Structure 1
Amino acid sequence: MARRRTIFLGGLAVVAVVAGAVAVRTATFAPKDIADGSDVRLAAVPSYDLDAAVAHLSAAAQIPTISHQDPADNDVAQWDRLHTWLAATYPAVHGAMTRTVLPNRTLIYHWPGSDAALAPIIVMAHQDVVPVTPGTEGEWKYPPFSGQIAEQAVWGRGTVDDKGSLIGLFEALEALANAGFQPKRGIYLVSGHDEEAGGSGAIAAAAKLKADGVKAIFTIDEGSLVLTDTPVINGPAIMIGIAEKGYATLKVTANAPGGHSSMPPAETGVQTLAQAILDISDDPFPYEVRGPGASMLEALAAAKGGTTRMAVANQWLFGPLLKRQIAAVPSTAAAFHTTIAPTMLEGSPKENVLPQTASALINYRIAPWNRSADIMARAKSAVGDAKVELSWVKPPREPSRVSSTSSQGWKWIAAAARADAPGAVLSPILVVAGTDSRSMEPVSEDVYRFMPMHFSLKESAMIHGTNEHMRVDSFKRMIDFYARLVATAAG
């Protein structure tokens, strides 16, 4: 009896210690090293004509700078048309900044600063847009390249991705130049011509900047936004991208004798391929609460409070439960592991012919803590001694480095973003897609991915989709943000 009582009391003591530890960690929990920019004195936004700016975005949307999968299908005259239109529409910018047009039609603008000792800033937005999916043109409320101004928005392909940013930047810079702004810190505007088809333009621009000895204090490009219904907090959050995932496509090939489908062998090449795909897909990378995803979770949990704060503050105890909740939402889960997505299959050219070669493409988006070598090793382990060949379609793009959330560049961006979203939670985020900004790493201390548009999760689905449109209020926020940021950082 005494022994049972001792065990019971010992159990109570353990529970008390655990509960005490949980309570203390929860009470003292705070996001690590995320500066709020409250010590930044923001510059004022110069005056500009919003109606004219909206008309300019409409006009830019009517220039179909479409990046096709095969660059040979691109109408390069449309890029020249856009360049001519920019020069005519923004005379003050073209008077204050030198313009370099690379042979591939990527643009580099430079506004020299008065103090050469100060590191410059780089602002980015790309010129090209994705095609409209064939057969969906009739589903658009307004023709996709009409630039229609209606319902307090500008409608058309590229109004959000990424001509909204491009024209927002030009409007901000034009307003600053007209107001007599003279930067102390140099300003570079880089606009890639083919972000939607690989980003070779940004690579070339970065090479030129490096050759010119440029080392910027920060770069800002597209990538994330102000999400009005952010998971965890169910409210607005300023989501600033501090890194982006890598990209790789694995080709799995099964070779077989082929022959007539009326006399199939015990296992065809297609069956071998199918099993290999399943084996690779059924061995996913584990969820890991680390890197930018963990920073995001900490920021949101601290704002949410309650049991969410308790779980994130005490991952030593609630880690498995937290990972199960993360895995339940694909859009959130992608920030916490390397994803595996079989996307394309190729086999026989005819239904009654056994293919001699069957192949599949598997697309990976690589988490910051993994590398392409990890993917290849895992895939080889998964297929074992199966008669398949594994190869890369093209050299993988490794994940970007992770930028600081306490640097001066971060503080400037955070302060400029909070000016139009004062009640929103400030959070870093991992960008799961790709941007041109990754190419600026050799010429920039930090690289950030953020546009100040206010979107819900549902609204974000229109990017690359049907009925893409930029609301006038979001466009105004973009112009104001860029004007504040540039004037504050470069002034």
Structure 2
Amino acid sequence: MIKRGLLILLALLVILLAILFFNAFTFNSRQPAIAALPAPAVDPEAIQHFQEAIRFKTISFTDSALLDTAQFFGFQRFLQKTYPTAHAHLERELVKNYSLLYTWKGKNEKLKPIVMLAHQDVVPIEEASKSSWTVDPFAGEVKDGCVWGRGSTDNKINVISIFETIEKLTKENFQPERTVILALGHDEERGGSGAKTIAKLLAQRNISAEMVLDEGGIVTRNKVPGMLKPVALIGTAEKGYLSLLLTVEKNGGHSSMPEQETALDILAKAVVNIRQHPFPPNFAPATVGFMSHVGPEMPYPEKLIFANMWMFKSVVIGIYEKSAAGNAVVRTTVVPTIFNAGMKDNVVPTKVSATVNLRLLQGDTSDKVIAELKKIINDDRVSITMSTEFLNEASATSPEEGFGYQHVQETVKKTFPETVATPFLMIGATDSRFFGDVSTNIIKFSPMIDPIGFHGIDERVSLESFQQSLWFYEKFLRQ
């Protein structure tokens, strides 16, 4: 009887292994067979233009009163002076004082237009970090094969690459088949009101775009474990953005006679409870797409795992959860970012507050997560107020079979040699989140290779990336 049972178990094991390996064997590549063409050398003047663009301190401060309008107007005059042919062919509009909207008329008015986004603004330099920079953060210096400076990666490489390309094409009297709309927001780093206004304006004009292309994923050679080829992360969706203010009010008093429980105690307990009870993990549609495109290109045993997610989903989630970036891909995240309490060291405060920031996974709405947080905190003394200034639900997912993804994928394959193109979930926010009424094909991709220092010290991007970025936008617009 025992022998028979063992034989049955062995047979089941053999069947299971056969299923696993059959699925892996038939886990076919989804990459189109397109050969890349070598990028032409970069005109030294284009590099100089990129450097000059970085020297404009188009900074978005949290306090909008600190906005240096001269820097923005100076940058816009620089674009007009540097790219005169482009400005002669494109209609230019100023939106909300500082954002720019360009229209490049296409040959065929029956075709839907495409919208290209980039943003003029950059994040500030922390005062305490200035001395840690290797170069002046606004000098636009070329060093060690890279262009250094604040905004080099986020997002002036896109702005300059697009304008260099349009200037080149208009000088050749090239006219695109489709109308091209270029939107350059001025405050993406503090909420994107400029892009939001542009999106509303286009919707009011009844413009239905074939696709929207904004910043987003990159080409990476080292950020996808197990991959031996470069991977182009083409964003097809992005997480939502929600900030909540947790407030507690309770009698304070002299610090020499504290109550058993203070307002700060209550708030601290609420925050700890939130952090100790993370939202459940799940795979967004864009992440499922990522696995189906990257999995077939991986060596064993990774290929075997991705080919059999019905069995290994919990294993893959466990791997994702081990890193901060991976964990953000598989769940709605919540983290405290600001605490406000107290005015003097010997006074127990009566009112305390904490701001917590959430990035919402598809399926987790703001109402749903607030209700869940109330259950987790389980204390009516903690009030929860939702900030509506930057509230955005998670975006819809652009279809892989749609024009937007297919066109970007094809351009990537023609631009970056032996690169695997894949859908990708953006965990950060972009201006494109406002354009849902303009197009259902919204793609988030920046054609650069492993940039360094997003929003940090020594921000820089390689000259190779700039070369490939120019080539990408040329191929994108010529097709």
TM superposition score normalised by structure 2: 0.95
Matched, 1:464 2:455: yes
Asked if the contact 2:284/2:362 (under 8 Å) is kept, the reply is no
Asked if the contact 2:96/2:197 (under 8 Å) is kept, the reply is no
Q: Give the letter aligned to residue 468 of structure 2.
A: R
Spell out structure 1 runs of 4+ moving beyond 6 A: 41-45
Aligned to 2:476: 485
Aligned to 1:404: 399
Q: Give the letter aligned to residue 463 of structure 1.
A: F
Aligned to 1:441: 436
Say if 1:149 and 1:10 are closer, same or farther in 2 by CA, change over 3 A: closer
> 1:84-483 residue pairs with structure 2 within 5 A?
84-235=77-228, 236-394=230-388, 396-455=391-450, 459-460=451-452, 462-483=453-474
Higher mean C-alpha deviation, range 296-305 or range 210-219: 296-305
d(CA) in 2 for partners of 1:21, 1:100: 59
Asked if the contact 2:37/2:415 (under 8 Å) is kept, the reply is no
> 1:44-63 residue pairs with structure 2 within 5 A?
50-63=43-56
Q: CA deviation at 1:441?
A: 1.6
SS across alignment from 2:385: strand
Q: CA deviation at 1:422?
A: 2.0
d(CA) in 1 for partners of 2:36, 2:415: 12
5+ residue gaps, structure 1: none
d(CA) in 1 for partners of 2:377, 2:94: 48
5+ residue gaps, structure 2: none
Matched, 1:21 2:19: yes
SS across alignment from 1:160: helix
d(CA) in 1 for partners of 2:380, 2:28: 49
Asked if the contact 1:232/1:301 (under 8 Å) is kept, the reply is no
Asked if the contact 1:30/1:298 (under 8 Å) is kept, the reply is no
SS across alignment from 1:238: strand
Deviations 1:145-170 (A, max 9, x none): 11223333322111111111101100
Query: What fraction of aligned residue pairs are identical, expressed as a percent?
Result: 31
Q: CA deviation at 1:30?
A: 4.1
d(CA) in 1 for partners of 2:199, 2:32: 28
Say if 1:66 and 1:476 are closer, same or farther in 2 by CA, change over 3 A: same
d(CA) in 1 for partners of 2:310, 2:180: 46
d(CA) in 2 for partners of 1:315, 1:43: 35
d(CA) in 2 for partners of 1:100, 1:132: 30
Deviations 1:140-191 (A, max 9, x none): 2221111223333322111111111101100000001011102221001100
Q: How many equivalent pairs are there?
A: 477
Asked if the contact 2:36/2:417 (under 8 Å) is kept, the reply is no
Deviations 1:430-481 (A, max 9, x none): 11111111112211231111111111xxx53x11111112322211111111
Q: CA deviation at 1:38?
A: 4.5
d(CA) in 2 for partners of 1:261, 1:234: 58
Say if 1:153 and 1:444 are closer, same or farther in 2 by CA, change over 3 A: same
Say if 1:340 and 1:473 are closer, same or farther in 2 by CA, change over 3 A: same
Q: Give the letter aligned to residue 393 of structure 1.
A: S
